[in-house]
Amino acid sequence: MVPAAGVGRRMQSDIPKQYLEIHGRTLMEHTLERLLDFTVLEKLIVVIGAEDEYYTDIELLRDSRILLVQGGSERYHSVLNGLKALSELADAEDWVMVHDVARPCIRHADLEWLVKQLSDHTVGGLLGIPVRDTMKRTSSVGEVTETVDRDALWHALTPQMFRMKLLYDALKKALDDEMPVTDEASAIEHSGFKPLMVEGHGDNIKVTRGADLALAALYIQQQAKLIETV
Ligand X SMILES: C[C@](O)(CO)[C@H](O)COP(=O)(O)O
Ligand Y SMILES: Nc1ccn([C@@H]2O[C@H](COP(=O)(O)OP(=O)(O)OP(=O)(O)O)[C@@H](O)[C@H]2O)c(=O)n1
Contacts with ligand Y by CB under 6 A lie at 3-10, 17-18, 47, 71-75, 78, 100-102, 206, 208
DSSP for 83-143 reads HHHHTTTS-TTSEEEE--TT-TT--HHHHHHHHHHHTT-SSEEEEEEE--S-EEEE-TTS-
- What binding mask, one character per residue, do residues 62-81 give for ligand X by CB under 6 A, x or -? -------------x------
What's the maximum distance between 2 C-alpha atoms anywhere in the chain? 52
User: 124 near 196, Cβ under 8 Å?
Assistant: yes
Nearer to ligand Y, 19 or 125 (CB): 19
Closest distance to ligand Y from the beta carbon of 106 (Å): 12
Closest distance to ligand X from the beta carbon of 62 (Å): 26
- What binding mask, one character per residue, do residues 27-66 give for ligand X by CB under 6 A, x or -? ----------------------------------------
Q: Detail the DSSP E strand segments found in 42-99.
A: 44-48, 66-70, 95-98
Nearer to ligand Y, 14 or 93 (CB): 14
Question: Which residues have C-beta within 8 Å of that of residue 122, sequence separation ≥ 6?
Answer: none
Distance CA 213, CA 183 (A): 22
> Which residue type does 104 have?
P
183 binds ligand X per the rule CB under 6 A = yes
Number of residues that bind ligand X (CB under 6 A): 8
What values do phi and psi take at 190, rounded to 5?
-60, -30
Closest distance to ligand Y from the beta carbon of 126 (Å): 14
Closest distance to ligand X from the beta carbon of 157 (Å): 6
204 binds ligand X per the rule CB under 6 A = no
Chain positions contacting ligand X, by CB under 6 A: 75, 100, 156-158, 182-183, 206
